Chains A and B, each alone.
Chain A
Amino acid sequence: MLTATMRRHLISAALLAPVVGFLAVVFMLPLGVLLKLSFTAPAGPLSTYADILGGWLYTRVFWNTLVLAVMVTAITILAGYPTAHMLTRLKGLTLTLAVYGVLFPLWISVLIRTFAWILLLEKNGPINRLLVGAGILDAPAAFLFSNTGVAIGMVHVLLPYAILPIYANMLRVDARLLQASDGLGASPLATFRRVYLPLTMPGVAAGAVLVFLLALGFFITPALLGGANSMTVAMLIETLVNERLAWPLAGAASFLLLAAILVLLAVASRFVKLGAALEVR
């Protein structure tokens, strides 16, 4: 005879079993196999990790990925902050349309957004023609196949992830605090620096962590806009698998990337509410 409590637990287990089972088989198990694979190089179990951490070619790829991620995070936050502030000042239809303007790009495939940038940044593309025509450049610039092009494309894809958490945070700022600061004679700059900026910092931190984490794993945008000149860790993993068939090395690179992301996440989650950042989307 089942007691009521046992029945309750049984139903909970039955509801959760399919999704947990699915993730165990299709997500955790393959990752486990890849992790195991990374220790199976003929030269010894840790040789792959030593190769990647010791080879200047590999460390350069990790370094380039880091530089790109830092650069893209800085630009998205600097551009996203005033944009989020503008959103808090809009009302009615203008606000709705502006928010849709931030959300809509997230619905478009990264591949299409990156392809559009190829067309725009090409040597004979409209942006180069405009810059040369206006006399800003003497000759068309090589935006493509460089970190510049990759950074432009990545900023475009990741900007909404910076704007949305900052905007959500700004909406929660109590306007009376700003009025009080004003009323007590603080200059607008002082009010911004000592009241508004500290109060909106959690949103900035959440946006920055989110953008940075996503940027570290970027593949499509750097592969198409940067090519071999701007290799990221994700591109390295793809090359190791598809061109060199070096599975143990690919596994090691994957888990070094994953470890970096998990460490960052563990550190960040002590200061930042990332769950809240995910929910505003």
Chain B
Amino acid sequence: MAERSPGFRFAVHGLGSLVLAFLLLPIFAVVPASLNYGSFIRLPPEVWSTRWYARFFADREWLTSLVTSFEVAAIATAVSALLGTAGALGLTRIGGRLRAALTGLILAPMIVPVIVTAVSLYYVGRYWGMTGTVPGLAMAHVLMCLPFVVLNVGVSLRALDPSWLRAAEGLGASPARVFATVTLPTILPGLFGGAVFSLITSFDEVVLSIFIAGVQAKTLPVKMWEVVRLEFTPILSVASTLLIGLTVLLFVLFRLAAARARVAGVGP
């Protein structure tokens, strides 16, 4: 095409680089913002200080919300991994329309606007005793995490040659043994990918959480949501910076692991 024209090349690469900068740079604006001295955020700060970090770690409410986030994410990830792996294995065993319908059902929470799911769960959750509890919020998060587990394990399962299963059975292995020695090792990369995406999805989730969390299950994003509607204090930038740091760490670890094993890449 016009690749030979240096002007065209320059234009495409220039525009593309600008878009990448637009995607990445604004996120990191919260880092200098967290280092303000004053109680109003100024970018860049006039006086630099780490005192808002000290405030954050001295504040019981912020710390509790951080711990709650970890609890909810751990439960949501474990439940999603179990339900999702079983589901992905089940989906490969059935055919045609039923399979398409069930896949649609599992992916539906990604298509239905989260606000609609959140409001409907908020309504029934009050009668079920689901709102304001850590397990209740985790169950809501499972809705958003399941698709990632099912998709990733599903991709790994494509690499599973059915003749291996028959060979293992023919050699006298019990169904449990076949699963442990043939199926599980094959789907492990997909399961790992799905679990990491579940963890991140739960940790980042805001809309379901602000409806279901109540007072008792306030995660970090819920606490941030409450504060950001009142004031733009540097402590919000501290919370954001900490979450970004954690995410960068997970992202790098995940990419390193993915480069070693063939982790299926369905998900962000």
Contacts and interface: CB of A to CB of B under 8 A. Distances in A.
Interface of A: 8, 11-16, 18-20, 22-23, 26-31, 33-34, 37, 79-80, 82-83, 85-87, 89, 98, 100-113, 115-120, 122, 124-126, 156, 159-160, 163, 178, 181-182, 188-189, 191-192, 196, 213, 216-217, 219-220, 224, 234, 237-238, 241, 247, 250, 254-255, 257-258, 261, 265, 278-279, 281
A247 B205 CA distance: 24
B268 interface: yes
A217 B114 contact: yes
B83 to A, nearest CB: 4
Given A15-B87, A83-B19, 19 more contacts: A12-B93, A15-B89, A20-B105, A26-B121, A27-B143, A34-B123, A105-B23, A108-B204, A109-B203, A110-B206, A111-B204, A115-B224, A119-B237, A163-B19, A192-B2, A196-B1, A234-B115, A241-B122, A261-B112
Interface in B80-100: 82-84, 86-87, 89-91, 93-94
A112 to B, nearest CB: 5
A176 to B, nearest CB: 12
A124 B167 CA distance: 70
Which secondary structure dominates chain B's binding surface? helix
B120 A33 contact: yes
21 contacts: A19-B83, A19-B106, A19-B150, A23-B106, A26-B139, A26-B143, A111-B204, A116-B26, A116-B30, A117-B26, A118-B228, A119-B43, A120-B26, A126-B29, A160-B268, A188-B2, A213-B111, A224-B229, A254-B113, A257-B116, A278-B266
Interface residues of B, number: 91
B119 A86 contact: no
A31 B2 CA distance: 52
A11 B187 CA distance: 18
Contact of A254 (B83, B87, B116): B116
B106 A105 contact: no
B102 interface: yes
A3 B190 CA distance: 33
A112 B23 contact: no
A80 B12 contact: no
